[in-house]
Amino acid sequence: MKRCLIWFRRDLRLQDNPALAAALGAGAEILPVYIHGENQVAQLSEGGASKWWLHHALSDLDSQLNELGANLHLIKTSAIDKALFALVQELNIDTVLWNRRYQPAAIELDQEIKKQLVDEGIKVKSFNASVLNEPHTISNKSGKPYQVFTPYWKCSRETEVPAPVEINLSSAQWAKAEGIALKDLGLLPEIDWDKAFYDNWEPTREGAVKRLKEFSKQSVSEYNDERDMMADDGTSKMSPYLHFGQIGVREIYHHLRNAGDEVMHGYIRQLYWRDFAHHLIYHFPHSVEKSLRPEYEQFPWSHSEEMVQRWRKGQTGYPVIDAAMRQLWQTGWMHNRARMVVGSFLVKHLLQDWQSGADWFWDTLVDADLPNNTMGWQWVAGCGADAAPYFRVFNPLLQAKKFDQEGEYVRKYLPELANIPGSAIHEPWELSEIELLAYGVKLGETYPARMIDLYEGRDRALEAYKEFKELNK
Ligand SMILES: Cc1cc2nc3c(=O)[nH]c(=O)nc-3n(C[C@H](O)[C@H](O)[C@H](O)COP(=O)(O)OP(=O)(O)OC[C@H]3O[C@@H](n4cnc5c(N)ncnc54)[C@H](O)[C@@H]3O)c2cc1C
């Protein structure tokens, strides 16, 4: 290995990066490259909020490289394979290294590119940088992929998780080439809807490490008790950093592995849910676009654009749903409990297809992640692996009263209801005209009237699901 190209994708870090470690170990001259594909299939492109994050993550990676006397070579193209191949030839690259991806379309593309490069005599090597256990390494006793989390977890946690890869950059040698400027990737929005993102996130490697340290010092031991409280900062908010690979999941695992059983069975278990999502998407590639359980493709969704729009805009008339949808729009993130509640409301109470929810999350989440988003939505809709049973319909009012007892979460995102005290904020329709007047609320004007009756919606969903189950017995 004399001159090697490191193709960065969802591993935007210099630490714990096995592809980089291999190049350094071989003493090769290294060209760090990021290729932004235009007009790609949906799986390989980013939604608006993720593009924002990606811009900053690339800028940060480039700054870290600049400090070492290198830079991130950027390319924008509609033909990734051709662009990569042209660069390899132009710069006499003899080896291409990357860390593996697991989305079905990415696997296909990577295999194709590998074949083309190898046919031309270029060495290609790939590594695992983003999961605790790769999807193909875990199977049940009959050699089949798991579809239920608990046995999956039991099996996968028996495998020792390798320590993060040591990186020594002190004697690195770098190759350089003329690329395009970051702004020319066109990742930042033209209209500044992203203003609040800057107050909520530090989308850098330093931000990831800082957040992990804070979380492990202040919250991880209370994670099991606090993780469902929507107003609290009880979860790690590592999801966008993990998605873009600014921190490695093995780094997090090893940082916390000795924190005790409670952390292992609480927080670390969630990291295995993330692995499980990769496992599912790898073994059931059709589940990216269609329900994992194929019969659900025939489910009689009611397809109402108007309902979906009200849900997306946080105008349903149910404060906890609307607060969550506005949290998503304003900050690019939504609390996990809220994701389950708004998801259930969309697919069950409103009987809208899970894909219309998944698409909106894809566009608005900074942590939009194909494996996790697909598994999350299919769990909610009951059409995936280890999914919620069809009769589980979250009651948003009960959820709100349990996980946002004093209404703090709702008050934060729905200023038009903020004067309503305590948990009364969850049911403004129960207040008298005089109370509403005193709190400055006019239902149907300053805040929308409820778009459906909860009990009617629930009954309709149960009926539809039950009938569907009968038909598909
Ligand atoms: C409908 C729906 C859609 C979702 N879409 C996404 C998505 O696009 N991207 C995404 O990263 N997560 C998604 N999730 C999973 C989960 O909501 C988020 O990972 C979590 O809220 C991120 O916040 P956190 O980092 O503070 O999580 P923490 O509670 O601190 O958990 C730590 C990490 O574990 C992983 N994790 C936690 N919960 C889950 C879970 N239920 N499934 C898989 N991994 C999990 C995540 O990587 C997370 O960052 C979705 C869940 C649902 C119900």
Domain ranges of the chain: 3-129, 130-164+193-283, 294-471
Percentage above 90 pLDDT, the chain: 91
Q: What is the pLDDT of residue 147?
A: 95
CATH 3.40.50.620 is right for the domain spanning 3-129 = yes
Quote the distance between the C-alpha of residue 106 and its chain's center.
16
One-letter identity of residue 119: D
Q: What is the dihedral sign for C-alpha 75, 76, 77, 81?
A: positive
Q: Does 388 have pLDDT greater than 80?
A: no
Q: DSSP letters along 275-287, please?
A: HHHHHHHHH-GGG
> Which atom of ligand 1 is closest in space to residue 340's alpha carbon?
53
C-alpha–C-alpha distance, residues 29 and 224, integer Å: 47
- Predicted confidence at residue 272, as pLDDT, reads 98
Q: Would the pLDDT of 278 be above 80?
A: yes
Kindly give the distance from the C-alpha atom of residue 307 to the centroid of ligand 1, in angstroms, as a whole number.
25
Mean pLDDT of 85-98: 97
Cβ atoms 428, 450 nearer than 8 A: no
pLDDT of residue 40: 81
First to last CA, the chain: 58
Closest Cα to atom 31, ligand 1: which residue?
Answer: 270
**Spatial distance between the Cα atoms of 345 and 342, rounded to a whole number of angstroms:** 5
What is the average per-residue pLDDT within 63-76? 97
For a ligand 1 pocket test, name from 270, 280, 399 the mutation site with the most ligand atoms within 8 angstroms of its C-beta: 270
Per-residue CA distances from 435 to 316, 349, 440, 443 (Å): 21, 29, 9, 12
pLDDT at 400: 98
* DSSP 8-state assignment for residue 290: S
How far, rounded to the nearest angstrom, does the alpha carbon of residue 212 sit from its chain's CA centroid? Answer: 17
pLDDT digit string, tens, across residues 103-133: 999 999 999 999 999 999 999 999 999 999 9
The reply to whether ligand 1 has any atom less than 6 angstroms from the CB of 374 is no
Ligand 1 centroid from CA 195, angstroms: 24
Task: Name the β-bridge partners of 125.
Answer: 97
pLDDT value at residue 39 = 79
Question: Is the Cβ atom of 372 under 6 angstroms away from ligand 1?
Answer: yes
Task: Report the pLDDT value the prediction gives residue 104, as an integer from 0 to 100.
Answer: 96
Residue 206 has pLDDT above 80, yes or no: yes
**Mean pLDDT value across the chain:** 96
DSSP string, 46-98: --HHHHHHHHHHHHHHHHHHHHTT---EEEEES-HHHHHHHHHHHTT--EEEE
The partner residues of 283 in beta bridges, in order of sequence, read none
Q: Tell me the three state secondary structure of residue 237.
A: coil
Q: Supply the DSSP symbol for 14.
A: S
Name which residue sits closest to atom 40 of ligand 1, judged by CA: 273
d(CA 358, CA 378): 9
* Phi-psi category of residue 204: left, alpha or beta, with phi > 0 → left and psi -120 to 50 → alpha: beta
With a cut of 80, say whether residue 70 has pLDDT above it. Answer: yes
pLDDT band at 387 (very low <50, low <70, confident <90, very high): confident
Whole-number Å distance, alpha carbon 249 to ligand 1 midpoint, is: 13
Return the CATH class of domain 294-471. Answer: mainly alpha
Say which range, 75-84, 246-255, 259-268, has the weakest mean pLDDT.
259-268
Q: What is the mean pLDDT of residues 235-260?
A: 96
Residue 384 is classified by DSSP as S
* Binding site membership of 242 for ligand 1 (Cβ less than 6 Å): yes
Q: How far apart are CA 358 and CA 31, in angstroms?
A: 36
**Residue among 274, 287, 393, 300 nearest 344 (CA):** 393
pLDDT at 149: 96
- The pLDDT of residue 41 is 86
Cα(391)–Cα(386) distance, rounded to whole angstroms?
14
Q: Is any ligand 1 atom within 6 A of the Cβ of residue 238?
A: yes
Contact 285, 104 (CB under 8 A): yes
Distances (CA, A) of 271 to 101, 174, 214: 17, 34, 18
Q: 151: CA distance to ligand 1 center in Å?
A: 20
The yes-or-no verdict on residue 1 having pLDDT over 80 is: no
The answer, as to whether pTM is greater than 0.95, is yes
Q: What is the pLDDT of residue 411?
A: 98
Per-residue pLDDT, averaged over 59-68, amounts to 97
pLDDT at 9 over 90: yes
Whole-number Å distance, alpha carbon 368 to ligand 1 midpoint, is 9
Domain 130-164+193-283 falls under CATH 3.40.50.150: no
219 φ/ψ angles, rounded to the nearest 5 degrees: -120, -20
CA-closest residue to ligand 1 atom 46: 239
For the chain, what percentages of helix, strand and coil (3-state, to nearest 5) are there? 55, 5, 40
Ligand 1 atom 11: the closest Cα is on which residue?
A: 239
pLDDT at position 82 over 80: yes
Mean pLDDT, range 338-350, rounded to an integer:
97
Neighbours of 390 (CB within 10 A): 17
Given a cut of 90, whether residue 154 has pLDDT beyond it is: yes
Cα angle, residue 264 at apex, residues 258 and 270 outer, rounded to 5°: 130
Mean pLDDT of the region 144-160: 96
**How far, in Å, CA of 78 to CA of 35, rounded?**
10
In DSSP terms, 74 is beta-bridged to: 34
Computed on alpha carbons and rounded to an integer, the radius of gyration of the chain in Å comes to 24
- As to burial, measured by CB atoms within 10 angstroms (0-12 exposed, 13-18 middle, 19+ buried), residue 107 is middle
What residue type is 232 in one-letter code? D
- How far, in Å, is the centroid of ligand 1 from the Cα of 131? 14
Q: Coil, strand, or helix at residue 443? A: strand
Asked if residue 377 lies in contact with residue 358, where contact means CB atoms within 8 angstroms, the answer is yes
Residue 321 to residues 60, 336, 452, Cα–Cα distance (Å) = 35, 13, 13
Q: Which two tokens stand for residue 442?
A: 């006019």
pLDDT digits (tens, 9 = 90+) for 127-146: 999 999 999 999 999 999 99
Statement: residue 447 has pLDDT above 90: yes
Classify the phi-psi angles of 303: left when phi > 0, otherwise alpha if psi is within -120 to 50, otherwise beta: left
Question: Does ligand 1 have an atom closer than 6 angstroms to the CB of 365?
Answer: yes
Averaged pLDDT, 403-427: 98
3-129 and 130-164+193-283 agree in CATH topology:
no
Q: Over pLDDT 70: what percentage of the chain?
A: 100
State whether the beta carbon of 278 lies less than 6 angstroms from ligand 1. no
Binning pLDDT at 50, 70 and 90, where does residue 273 land? Answer: very high
